[in-house]
Amino acid sequence: MNQHEIKKGFETWNRKIHIYLGLFMLLFIWLFSVSGLFMNNPKWFHGNVERTPTDIPVTYSEGLDEVARAKELRDQLGLEGEIILRAQRNTEKFFFMVMRPNKRFGVSVDLATKVATVNHVKPQPVGILGDLHTFSGVRAIWNEPVQERDWIMTRIWSFSIDVVSIGLILIVLSSLYMGLKIKENRPWAVASLAFGVLTCSFFVWGLSMMA
């Protein structure tokens, strides 16, 4: 295979990858684009969340660490979702959250009476979009002492986010190669890219340099 054939093969596959990845990720890109738009415009998030508290007696094993205890209680209460466990503020209670994009459960166990108050929180549809956008299981904003993904679906969704990000990078790189190879109207293509690079660079580097 000579160099010309290798180049031609690369160009053919570069184009195919651009098309196939774009088609495969179409719905994912729409989801993250629309949810990003909503998150970028917080005023669009409105409406009250529904909260339904229920008291349930529980038992738990002594001597478990907090993560293991939260998992045991989650399973006992029949809840499914990612455990969000922050530092405990009230020594008389054990608090954690079980979260999935369309619902959350705040679980507060009274250590004296062994009664769990499960607060079922149902967000509005736009809130669900926001939760899907950020549902990584290890958000710094949650401030968890132990950051781990403890629900299989969190791992799958987080993996999907990685795949979409890497796929998007590949789509962009393949488009740069194709876009700059086109001879017709090349000055316009170069000008579009240069305008984008300069605008983006101003925000990424320019603002800190001017501080």
Partner 1 sequence: MRMKLFSNSKRLYQWTRKLHLYTGLFISPFLLLYAISTLYLNHSVRGTPVDEAQGTVPIELAPGVEGMELVNQVVEQLDLSGEIAGRGQIRNNQTIIRVARPGIVKVVTVNLADQEATVLQRSTGLLGAINYLHFNPGLHRVPKWGITKLWGWLADTTVYLTLFLTVSGVYLWVLLKAERNTGLIMLGGGVVSFISILAALFFI
Under a CB-based contact definition with an 8 Å cutoff, are residues 55 and 75 in contact? no
CB of 33 to partner 1, least distance (A): 5
Give the Cα-Cα-Cα angle 109, 112, 114 (nearest 5 degrees). Answer: 45
How big is the site for partner 1, counted in residues (CB under 8 A)? 70
> Considering the rule CB under 8 A, would residue 161 count as an interface residue with partner 1?
yes
Q: Which of 80, 86, 92, 114 forms a contact with partner 1 (CB under 8 A)?
A: 80
Phi, psi of 14 (to 5 degrees): -60, -45
> Considering the rule CB under 8 A, would residue 29 count as an interface residue with partner 1?
yes
Question: What is the chain's length?
Answer: 211
Three-state DSSP class for 55? strand
Task: Quote the tokens at residue 20.
Answer: 């196939």
Q: Which of 69, 71, 74, 100 forms a contact with partner 1 (CB under 8 A)?
A: 100
CB of 178 to partner 1, least distance (A): 8
77 vs 56: CA distance, rounded Å: 8
Q: Which of 9, 36, 53, 145 forms a contact with partner 1 (CB under 8 A)?
A: 36
Under a CB-based contact definition with an 8 Å cutoff, are residues 150 and 71 in contact? yes
93-100 vs 82-84, strand pairing mode: antiparallel
51 vs 53: CA distance, rounded Å: 7
Closer to partner 1 by Cβ: residue 61 or 203: 203
> Considering the rule CB under 8 A, would residue 138 count as an interface residue with partner 1?
yes
> Considering the rule CB under 8 A, would residue 139 count as an interface residue with partner 1?
yes
What residues line the site for partner 1 (CB under 8 A)?
16, 19-31, 33-34, 36-37, 39-42, 45, 80, 100-102, 130, 132, 135-136, 138-140, 147, 153, 156-158, 160-162, 164-166, 168-169, 171-172, 175-176, 179, 182, 185, 188-189, 192-193, 195-197, 199-201, 203-205, 207-208, 211
